[in-house]
Amino acid sequence: MMDKPIVAAFDFDGTLTKRDTFIPFALFAAGPWKWIKNLILLIPSALLFIFRAITRRQLKEKAITLFFKGMPHRKLMPLAEEFAAEIIPRLLKPKALEALKWHQKEGHRVIIISASIETYLRPWAEIMHIDDVIASRLELDSNGNITGRLAGNNCRAAEKVKRLKELLGPEKDYELYAYGDSRGDKELLAYADHRFFRKI
């Protein structure tokens, strides 16, 4: 019997990086004055989320609306590519990056699976020669402008497992390593053969 192929699925924010990456991306893309203004405008929604009056998705879409609604996605992409090349490397955890590169050296299929938006994750993954990205996606209108909403579900919790299955098929067909750091990774870690929770 042939050995099953090995897949390594890494959460991004807090697992590969030292912190959340959306806020640094918003600062990079919007500039400091708009960033400060929008963070202040976001405070009521953040408080509603803390007290469970709105969902995590609603908070995320409020932030996307404030920073990017109406912007052509084609104009955001060069900023995302620059952010991926210049800023993300500063946010990475060295030991986590070592683990990712070990899997690559071993010839394993490496996947980033994250609730962060793929607009800047895909350019970074291309730089790092990562095989696949599963992430939250920005909804665009018919003119290619950002609506402020997500296209499809926020990529966290059970959605991570669902989309991994859509990409790779049933888990029996491969051996899965999963890396995560939060409750949003719980289902992915439970699904994996080898689980690493806050261990890199």
What's the pLDDT score for residue 124?
Answer: 98
Q: What angle do CA 82, 85, 88 make, to 5 degrees?
A: 105
Contact 103, 177 (CB under 8 A): yes
What's the pLDDT score for residue 2?
Answer: 60
> What's the chain's average pLDDT?
97
Residue range 118-156, pLDDT digits in tens: 999 999 999 999 999 999 999 999 999 999 999 999 999
* Overall average pLDDT of the 28-55 stretch: 97
- Three-class SS state of 44: helix
| Phi/psi at 53 (5° precision) | -90, -20
What's the pLDDT score for residue 171?
Answer: 87
Q: What is the DSSP string of 46-107?
A: HHHHHTTSS-HHHHHHHHHHHHHTT-BHHHHHHHHHHHHHHTHHHHB-HHHHHHHHHHHHTT
pLDDT higher than 70, residue 37: yes
What CATH architecture is 6-197? 3-Layer(aba) Sandwich (3.40)
pLDDT higher than 70, residue 46: yes
| Phi/psi at 93 (5° precision) | -85, 125
* Overall average pLDDT of the 9-29 stretch: 97
Residues in the chain: 200
Residue range 60-94, pLDDT digits in tens: 999 999 999 999 999 999 999 999 999 999 999 99
| Phi/psi at 188 (5° precision) | -65, -45
**Position 1 confidence tier, pLDDT thresholds 50, 70, 90:** very low
- Three-class SS state of 167: helix
Alpha-carbon gap, residue 12 to 32, rounded angstroms: 24
Alpha-carbon gap, residue 155 to 166, rounded angstroms: 13
pLDDT higher than 90, residue 33: yes
